A and B are shown apart, each in its own frame.
Chain A
C-alpha cells in the first residue's frame, strides 16, 4: 500500500509541476500526526505529508469540496483524490448547488475500505500498519462494517460519476488508468500517461467482488432488520441516542444551515410536554428522538451513499450508517435512483412524473 501511495503522490506532483492543474485537494497528515485533514495545496512539502488513500475518513471529502466551491467557482484548476463514496456524495451536493465541479478533476480509486475513526484516534500507528497491509485484500476483516457491505467501491459498469478512476483490483499492484470524461482524458494526457486498454481482468474480478459484497450487504442488513423494523424495535435501538446531532453534522448530505429539527418550530410550552407525560405516565425529556432520525431519513435517504461517517462519529455507538443504509437502499430502489451515478440525473424530489400518482390512487 505504501508503495502505491507514493506512486500516486509522484503522479500528483507531476500534475502540479507540469501545470496540468494549479492545486491539489488531498488528505494531509496533521502536524501532531494523529489524524488527516483535507488541505488544498500547492506546496511540495505539504504533498509529501499527503496520503491520497488514508486509513480513515476523518472529514467526508464531499464536505471539503463543498466548503471550497460553495460560494462559486474557483479561479484555478484543482484535482482531488477521493474514495468512491466521497465522490458520489460530491456529485449529490453538486446537484444541490452546494459544490461546483467545473474546475475540479475528480479522481477516484478502487477502495479497500476504511478503518474506524475511534480506533485510529486511540492507536494511530497500529492502524496505519494494519491499513498498509490491506493491499490486494479486498475482503478484509479490519475495515468498518459499513465498508464490509459496500458494493460501490469500484466504478465498473458505470457505478458512479468520476473524471478519472484508478483501477487496482486484480492487477497485482499495478495501476490501471480509466478516464471517464474528457476532463479525465485531458488530465491523463497532460501527465503523458495512457489510459488502460485491457480492462478484462479488472472488470472480471471487480464484478466477482461486487457480487460477494452485495451478498454480504444483504446478509448483514437482514441480521440488523429485527433491531430496527417496527416502532418498538426502532425505539429501543435509538433509546440511547443523546440527541447530540453529530450524525447530522458530519453527514455530507445534510447541508442545511439550521436543521429543521433544531428550529424554533419544535420548541414547545411546558404544558405541551406535561400533557404528553400525562398520557403515558412519563416521557423521555427531550422527547421525539425518533422524529429526528426518521425525519433525517426522509430528507437525505435518497442521496445516502453509505459512507459511514455518521456511525464513526456517534458517541453512543449506534449503528446509524447501517440503519440509514437499509432505508436508503429501499428508497433509492423505489425511484430507480443511484446517488452519484450521473451529474445530470436530477434528484427524484424535484422530478414530477404523472404516472406516479396512479400508484397513490390505487
Chain B
C-alpha cells in the first residue's frame, strides 16, 4: 500500500514564522517521494490547528505525518492524541523541532531556514520507517508483599490494610518487631520501645487483611509490576503468593567487622550497642564481675571508616545510652568519645544539651584505640595531645550495615545494591523509595541507615505510592517502545541479559535465544547498545530509524 505522507508547518504565532522562510521550506520539500500534503497553520496546537490536522488526514488519506513545530517535549503528546482522533496510529508521526532548535536560536533567516529544511527532511526520512505500535493494558493485582516484619514493615502493612488491601508479611525470624523490640527506650521521647512496637504488632495481628508468614524467606520472584508470582519457603514448606507490588523492609544489622577488636571488643566489659540495650532492659547495668560501673565510655563512629558513611543515628543513640546510665547511676562518670556530633533534627540539639547537663562528658577525638587485659584502657588522641583513660565499661556505638545474606534477596528480586550492600533507590532525590524494577519498593533501613521516624515516614510514602499506582480494577499501561529480539540473528550470548537492569530479558533454553518480556521492559536501550550483532532493536528507535535521520541530517 502506498504511503501518503503529510508535512505540517506551524507558524507558532510569530515565533517560527518570523524566523523561518516557509515558502523556501515548501519549495524544498514539495518533491519528496510520497509527500501528498503540505500544510501551514498559525498555531497547530490550538483547537483550530488540531482540527486542521484531523481534516487533512481524513481528506487526503494520510498514512504518516511530520509536524514541524516546537519541541516534542511540549506537544508530542498533543499531536499523538490528534493522530488517534483522526484514526491514525500515534506512532506513525514524527516532530521536527524548528522552534527551539532553529527559529529561537539562529538570527540569520537564511541559516534558520536551511536548518529547518534539514530537520524536516530528517524527520520525513525517519518517519517512513516508523512502525505502528499498539498500547497495551494489563490487569493488575492490588495485593502487596512486604518483606520484613520490623517497624517499617509493620507500618507499611497497616497503612495498606487500612485502605483495604490484602498484605502478606514475610518475616525471616520467628517474631515480628525487628530490632526495636530489643530496645529499651526510643530517643528523644525516651518512651518505652517494647510497648511501642507491641502496639503495632497487636494491630497487625488483629488486622484481617494482613497475613503473616514467620520463619519464612522469599525464594523466587517471577513476573512484573501488577503481576508478581512469589515463591516463599516457610521452614521447609513452599507456598506461592500472587501480588502486585513488593516492599523490601529488611532493616539492618550493626557493624560486626574485624576492626571491632581495635575497639577492644573481646576484652571484658566492652559491649556492642545491642548487647548494652539488652542489658539495660534487664533493669540493671552491671559489669561482668556483677558491680555497677563507676566509669563508662561510649565510643562513637565504630565502623564508620570501614563502611565509608555516617549512619546518622548512632550519635543520638549514644546520647540515649548516656541517659540510661545517668538514670541508673547518677554519679557514674560517663564520657562520650566522638568524632563530631551528628544532630540534624529539630529536637536533637536539646536532647544533647539536656544530657550533657546531667554531667556527661563529650570528648572530640582524632584517633582512638582500646586495649587492656582486665579493664579496658582507652588510648586516644585529641588536638591537645595523646591520652589514656581506664574505665570500667565501654559501649560501642556501631554503624548500621545491611543484614548478612541480603545479596541473595537482591539477586532474587533483581534490584541493585550500592557498594555497601544497601538497596539502591531509583533516584536519591526524585525517587527515593522506588527501585529500578517497577513494582519493587524499598523503605526503612533497607534503603540506608536511618532512625525510626524517618523509617515510618518512608513506610507511609511507599504505602501511598502503592495505593495510588495499583488501584483495584485500574489497568496498567506498560511502555510501548520496548526492545525486541530477532530470533534468527540472536546467537544466545546473553550479553543483553547481563546488562538489563529490569530483569526484562530471559533466555529460552530450547531455542537458545534471548527473549524480551515487553511488560517489564522500560525501553532504556542498554541491551540494544550491548548487542554486537544488533539482533536486539528498540521499537520506535531502531538502528534503521536513527540512521536514516542522522544520514539525512549530515548530508
Q: Do A and B bind each other?
A: yes
- Nearest Cβ on chain B to A44's Cβ, whole angstroms: 34
Residues in chain B near residue A96, CB distance under 8 A: 493-495
Knowing A260-B532, A272-B551, A299-B532, the reply to whether A255 touches B489 (Cβ < 8 A) is no
- Nearest Cβ on chain A to B546's Cβ, whole angstroms: 9
Contact with B along A270-311 (1 / 0, CB 8 A): 001001000000000000000000000001000000000000
Asked if A260 and B495 sit within 8 Å, CB to CB, the answer is no
Interchain CB contact (< 8 A) of A257 among B498, B533, B555? B533
Asked if A350 and B490 sit within 8 Å, CB to CB, the answer is no
| Bound form: Cα–Cα A100–B298 in Å | 57
Contact with A along B478-501 (1 / 0, CB 8 A): 000000000011111111001100
Interchain CB contact (< 8 A) of B493 among A72, A255, A272? A255
Residues in chain A near residue B494, CB distance under 8 A: 96-97
Q: Is the C-beta of A268 less than 8 angstroms from some C-beta in chain B?
A: yes
Knowing A349-B495, A350-B498, the reply to whether A275 touches B555 (Cβ < 8 A) is yes
Knowing A256-B532, A258-B489, the reply to whether A350 touches B495 (Cβ < 8 A) is yes
Q: Is the C-beta of B547 less than 8 angstroms from some C-beta in chain A?
A: yes
Asked if B555 and A354 sit within 8 Å, CB to CB, the answer is no
Q: Is the C-beta of B535 less than 8 angstroms from some C-beta in chain A?
A: yes
Residues in chain A near residue B535, CB distance under 8 A: 256-258
- Nearest Cβ on chain A to B427's Cβ, whole angstroms: 16
Asked if B491 and A255 sit within 8 Å, CB to CB, the answer is yes
Residues in chain B near residue A97, CB distance under 8 A: 492-494
Q: Is the C-beta of B262 less than 8 angstroms from some C-beta in chain A?
A: no
Q: Is the C-beta of B436 less than 8 angstroms from some C-beta in chain A?
A: no
Residues in chain A near residue B547, CB distance under 8 A: 265-266
Contact with A along B543-555 (1 / 0, CB 8 A): 1100100010001
Residues in chain B near residue A299, CB distance under 8 A: 532
Residues in chain B near residue A72, CB distance under 8 A: 512
Q: Is the C-beta of A71 less than 8 angstroms from some C-beta in chain B?
A: yes
| Bound form: Cα–Cα A350–B490 in Å | 18
Asked if A349 and B530 sit within 8 Å, CB to CB, the answer is yes
Asked if A98 and B489 sit within 8 Å, CB to CB, the answer is no
Interchain CB contact (< 8 A) of A256 among B530, B533, B551? B533
Asked if A257 and B489 sit within 8 Å, CB to CB, the answer is yes
Asked if A265 and B533 sit within 8 Å, CB to CB, the answer is no
Q: Is the C-beta of B534 less than 8 angstroms from some C-beta in chain A?
A: yes
- Nearest Cβ on chain B to A339's Cβ, whole angstroms: 15
Residues in chain B near residue A258, CB distance under 8 A: 489, 533, 535
- Nearest Cβ on chain A to B267's Cβ, whole angstroms: 38
| Bound form: Cα–Cα A346–B512 in Å | 20
| Bound form: Cα–Cα A96–B534 in Å | 15
| Bound form: Cα–Cα A25–B495 in Å | 28
Chain A, interface size: which category? 20 to 34
- Nearest Cβ on chain B to A279's Cβ, whole angstroms: 9
- Nearest Cβ on chain B to A72's Cβ, whole angstroms: 8
Asked if A257 and B490 sit within 8 Å, CB to CB, the answer is yes
Q: Is the C-beta of A259 less than 8 angstroms from some C-beta in chain B?
A: yes
Q: Is the C-beta of B346 less than 8 angstroms from some C-beta in chain A?
A: no
| Bound form: Cα–Cα A275–B555 in Å | 7
Interchain CB contact (< 8 A) of A265 among B495, B498, B543? B543
Asked if B419 and A265 sit within 8 Å, CB to CB, the answer is no
- Nearest Cβ on chain A to B15's Cβ, whole angstroms: 32
- Nearest Cβ on chain A to B513's Cβ, whole angstroms: 10
- Nearest Cβ on chain B to A274's Cβ, whole angstroms: 10
Contact with A along B272-304 (1 / 0, CB 8 A): 000000000000000000000000000000000
Residues in chain B near residue A349, CB distance under 8 A: 495, 499, 530
Q: Is the C-beta of A263 less than 8 angstroms from some C-beta in chain B?
A: yes
Asked if A260 and B534 sit within 8 Å, CB to CB, the answer is yes
Name which residue of chain B comes closest to A269, CB basis.
Answer: B551
Name which residue of chain A comes closest to B494, CB basis.
Answer: A97
| Bound form: Cα–Cα A170–B551 in Å | 60
Name which residue of chain B comes closest to A299, CB basis.
Answer: B532
- Nearest Cβ on chain A to B461's Cβ, whole angstroms: 26
Name which residue of chain A comes closest to B530, CB basis.
Answer: A349
Residues in chain B near residue A75, CB distance under 8 A: none
Name which residue of chain A comes closest to B491, CB basis.
Answer: A257
Residues in chain A near residue B492, CB distance under 8 A: 70, 97-98
| Bound form: Cα–Cα A175–B69 in Å | 77
Q: Which of A80-108 contact B (CB under 8 A)?
A: 96-98
| Beyond A97-B492, A346-B498, A349-B530, 14 additional pairs, beta carbon < 8 A | A70-B492, A70-B512, A96-B493, A97-B494, A255-B491, A255-B493, A256-B533, A257-B489, A257-B533, A258-B535, A260-B534, A263-B534, A264-B544, A265-B544
What are 16 A-B residue pairs whose CB atoms fall within 8 Å in the complex?
A: A70-B492, A96-B493, A96-B494, A96-B495, A97-B493, A98-B492, A255-B491, A256-B532, A256-B533, A258-B533, A259-B533, A260-B532, A265-B543, A266-B547, A275-B555, A349-B495
The 4 A-B residue pairs with the shortest CB-CB distance, nearest first, are A256-B533, A350-B498, A96-B493, A265-B543
